[in-house]
Amino acid sequence: MIMKRIIIRSLKILVPRSFFDFLKNLHLKYTYIKEYNYDYKRFIEFSGTNGSDTSVKLVADIIRYYHVVEKGLTMPETRLGFGRELILSLCSMCEEYKQIYNENDPQVNHAIGVINEYRTFHDSSNYILDDDVLIAIKVLNISGDELSHTSQTEISKQVYFQHQSNSFLQFSNSRRSVRNFGELNIPIDKLMQAIDLSKNAPSACNRQSWRTHVYTDSKQIKTILEIQGGNRGFGHLTNKLIVVTGELGGFGGIWERNQVFIDGGIYAMNLLYSLHFYEIATCILNCSTEFKKDQKLRELCKIDKSEVFIAMIACGIPPDSFKVAISKRSDVQITNKIYS
């Protein structure tokens, strides 16, 4: 033991400090690579990256597809014949689910209802869908014991905001994503009141790593949303755009590698509630992008390199009457477990 200490002291004298720093950094990089590789392996194995080979993955795809149809049916100006390939794929996935799993899944049933609503919408508009679309819908209904069509929610601005000061149960249930904004301008002070209210969101050790970037110029908003790409049919109506980011400098250590996104997501939800309280309609947009798009958005939005994108929030004052997507929620028996 004494000899070991003498050797270590001798090495510290003979070997430059920079060499020990190099070894320390090398070990740190190896540790981070190992931990991120752990995340990568789980994501590749269990996510839908390589196909929908489980019922969970297939239902997730079905939800994603039917929600696009729901959004299309609630647009300010729904384009007749929209989503042809989408409907064909959705019919195919629902048929695949029933054949493989032979289960009565509420989300799959809802998807069939949305498909039928799509058909009914076009029938009522005297628009004849392509034969292959009509055949796919007919086959799906035959094999699935035809379900009635859904009906996207039509609501007035007065009703949408009527629970602003009621119980949280009523208030929370009344907030929905809006994809139809009128021409009224949102006063910047009203927007700032909502942002100030949202800061009561909890965060790890109260580090409050969230950042909000507010854009008011219509041309800049248009350019940002064109790159984001998930706002077709309504993005041009956005009056104010909020970009939520997270500051990486607030965290350290491999164990906090995802915390910036967790805290940022909590804040984003709190911000949505705050905006709803101040009667500002919103639609949250994802910022999950590949690195090239991230770089474009970062430059355009003037986002610091130390920040990561969390989400975008399109804001506006809704018209007197508009539609919102049903966005069916799964029963808590499916999404929740109780342990004793």
What pLDDT score does 196 carry?
A: 98
pLDDT in tens, 71-84: 999 999 999 999 99
Report the range of poorest mean pLDDT among 81-90, 134-143, 194-203, 274-283: 134-143
pLDDT in tens, 59-74: 999 999 999 999 999 9
Report, as an integer, the average pLDDT of 263-270.
Answer: 98
Alpha helices in 125-187 (DSSP H): 131-143, 157-160, 168-174
Average pLDDT, the chain: 92
What pLDDT score does 32 carry?
A: 87
What pLDDT score does 146 carry?
A: 62
- What CA–CA distance (Å, rounded) separates 27 from 23? 6
Which of residues 3 and 51 earns the better pLDDT score? Answer: 51
- What CA–CA distance (Å, rounded) separates 194 from 196? 5
Could you tell me how many residues make up the chain? 340
User: Residue 173 above 90 pLDDT?
Assistant: yes
pLDDT in tens, 237-251: 999 999 999 999 999
User: Residue 267 above 60 pLDDT?
Assistant: yes
- What CA–CA distance (Å, rounded) separates 9 from 145? 81
Report, as an integer, the average pLDDT of 24-28.
Answer: 76
User: Residue 256 above 90 pLDDT?
Assistant: yes
pLDDT band at 1 (very low <50, low <70, confident <90, very high): low
pLDDT band at 19 (very low <50, low <70, confident <90, very high): low
Give φ, ψ of 114 to 5 degrees: -65, -40
What pLDDT score does 142 carry?
A: 74
Contact 326, 152 (CB under 8 A): yes
Strand partners, 315: 240, 282
Report, as an integer, the average pLDDT of 130-143.
Answer: 90
pLDDT in tens, 159-171: 999 998 999 999 9
Architecture in CATH of 155-324: 3-Layer(aba) Sandwich (3.40)
Token readout for 256 is 């906090």
